[in-house]
Amino acid sequence: MSEKYIIQIKNLIKIFGDGVEIKALDGVDLNIERGEFLAIIGPSGSGKSTLLNQIGILDTPTSGTILLDGVDVTKMSEKQRSITRNKQLGFIFQYHHLLPDFNALENVMMPLLISGVKSSKARETARKVLEEVGLGDRMDHRPNQLSGGQNQRVAIARALVNKPSIVIGDEPTGNLDSKASDNIYELLRKLNHEHKQTFILVTHDVHMAEKTDRIIRLVDGRIVENSKN
């Protein structure tokens, strides 16, 4: 896949509700380059999560197209969608959603075990990724034995362990203090440089957004700003 754009979105519209209709996305056009580190900002209710969920193939649009690596995901069957999601996408949310009864290593191994990787291989891979996110010495800790920032690192390791080409984060630091938040952004930036994966992050934090390659600002479901940093 040598195309410049890993994601091509054309005239994307998403309308919620059958009684009172809410146009959450109102004709979004957006091309994202391979390896870009991009921030989506905008006021609450402007459609940021809706757009991210569309890119993550977690929801279907009302109309418009989304090409991932040149393939239109809006035309895919439910099965193809789920295969593409597991193979190509990594998700980081505001809350880490780690399994409380499993330690960091086991949480990170989980996606690999689900995709059928042998336990010994999964363990070795998960260990490497946890070392990369700076948790080499915390692998046997459960979520309640780790800080908010550390748990978010585990969640990042879990999102990356399948080597997705696109990583999306919906307010990945929304639950952290500013110091922990800075550290997480530095980590994501480092991973972006080292792995050349595409990162798309929704954030409230303008200071963080300024450290990305490009800022997309949404208002009322439309892109009102698209500027390179």
By CB under 6 A, the count of residues binding ligand ADP is 12
User: How far apart (Å, rounded) are the C-alpha atoms in residues 77 and 79?
Assistant: 5
Mention every residue, 6+ apart, whose C-beta is less than 8 A from residue 198. Answer: 6, 7, 32, 33, 34, 35, 36, 37, 38, 165, 166, 167
22 binds ligand ADP (CB under 6 A): yes
Q: What is the largest CA-CA distance in the chain?
A: 53
Alpha-carbon distances of 140 from 103, 143, 194, rounded to whole Å: 5, 10, 26
Choices 1-9, 29-37, 45-53, 192-200; region in contact with Mg ion by CB under 5 A? 45-53
Choices 16-24, 93-101, 121-129, 150-158; region in contact with ligand ADP by CB under 6 A? 16-24
Per the CB < 8 A criterion, the answer to whether 74 and 65 are in contact is yes
198 binds Mg ion (CB under 5 A): no
Nearest approach, Cβ of residue 111 and ligand ADP (Å)? 25
| Single-letter amino acid code for the residue at 25 | L
x-or-dash string of contact with ligand ADP, 30-69, rule CB under 6 A = ------------x-xxxxxxx-------------------
User: How far apart (Å, rounded) are the C-alpha atoms in residues 72 and 69?
Assistant: 9
Nearest approach, Cβ of residue 87 and ligand ADP (Å)? 25
Nearest approach, Cβ of residue 78 and ligand ADP (Å)? 18
**Of positions 8, 24, 36, 49, contacts Mg ion by CB under 5 A:** 49
Task: List contacts with Mg ion (CB under 5 A).
Answer: 48-49
